[in-house]
Amino acid sequence: MSIRIEDLVYRYPNGALALDRVSVTIEPGERVAIVGSNGAGKSTFARHLIGITRPTSGSVWLDDWNTADHSVAELARKVGYVFQNPDDQLHARSVAAEVRFGPRNLGFSPERTAELTAWAMEATGLTQLATAHPHHLSLGDRKRVTLASVLAMDSAVVVLDEPTTGQDHKSVETIGRLISELSTGGKTVFAITHDMDFCAENFDRVLVMAEGRIRVDMPTDDWLRADQDFDRYGLQLPQITRLAHGLGWPESVATVGRFMERLPGHTGATPPDS
Ligand SMILES: Nc1ncnc2c1ncn2[C@@H]1O[C@H](COP(=O)(O)OP(=O)(O)OP(=O)(O)O)[C@@H](O)[C@H]1O
Ligand SMILES: [Mg+2]
């Protein structure tokens, strides 16, 4: 599904201008990271994709649907949104019930609902916690429950607001792999993130937001290579890029895999944990 945002402006009722003439087009299967400092407008932008925030002016198109003409329930068939704060999303008494809610609510058959629920819990490492009460889980586990509940809805677009919040190293890798699988399967994945290592490893394209506008829209590698204005946007280069710079390498390197390839004497073996 392609997404077209045209001249999107959003002003909160208190007058704060959160989005200022944002225009961008995203093609099916793209993996797009949205980065930028606190208050840049990232979450406000993302909430427009699912219609829980509506444009003050401008428009959001999902293929030939203008979101203004559709309810949140209709939009939920096309776009899944994992909230920044999991507690804004969780409502059921068990992990399995939470994950099952979405596909059941969309009217999927009991078999398809069971299949998607089992898959989403497995993919996010929650199978063992199926009967646990979401509110008794850690922040990281609660965040993965919300991720699973969106995955189970099998929507064409998946929007993840800070997916690595509270996640340990292994879970961050699992989420990265999932994002890759979703995009290979033709789904469009957006993730808002402050984690530049995660951004470099998992996203082809980056949108940098500041003061309600998209200031940069580039392939992630090119942007990291251009290596400018990071401080201005409240960002820091990925650790591996800073290490390569510190070693005086002439070429910029964004991922651990590429760093290993460029090491003198590299044998072609896959580096551990990358
Ligand atoms: N409910 C609200 N009422 C008024 N202003 C708001 C509200 N929510 C956000 N804002 C303002 O809108 C702007 C954009 O906020 P938003 O939450 O979209 O930023 P963000 O990029 O997601 O930040 P963060 O990285 O902290 O999550 C900020 O100036 C913020 O103060
Ligand atoms: Mg936010």
pLDDT in tens, 193-217: 999 999 999 999 999 999 999 999 9
- Give the bridge partners for 143, in sequence order: none
Mean pLDDT of 22-49: 96
Distances (CA, A) of 194 to 8, 154, 207, 271: 23, 26, 12, 25
Domain boundaries, the chain: 238-274
User: What digits encode the pLDDT tens for the residues 97-146?
Assistant: 999 999 999 999 999 999 999 999 999 999 999 999 999 999 999 999 99
Q: Which ligand has the nearest atom to the CA of 42?
A: 1
**CA 45 to ligand 1 center in whole angstroms:** 10
Q: Where are the beta strands (DSSP E) in 122-232?
A: 157-161, 188-192, 205-210, 213-219
Which ligand 1 atom is nearest residue 14's CA?
4
Percentage above 90 pLDDT, the chain: 79
Residues with CB under 6 A from ligand 1: 12, 14, 16, 18, 36, 38-44, 84
Task: Tell me which of 8, 10, 12 to substitute to probe ligand 1's pocket, judged by most ligand atoms within 8 Å of the beta carbon.
Answer: 12
User: What digits encode the pLDDT tens for the residues 176-196?
Assistant: 999 999 999 999 999 999 999
Task: Tell me which of 22, 35, 44 to substitute to probe ligand 1's pocket, judged by most ligand atoms within 8 Å of the beta carbon.
Answer: 44
Looking at the predicted structure, is the pLDDT value of residue 269 above 80? no
Give the pLDDT confidence score for residue 274 in this predicted structure.
46
DSSP class of 67 = G
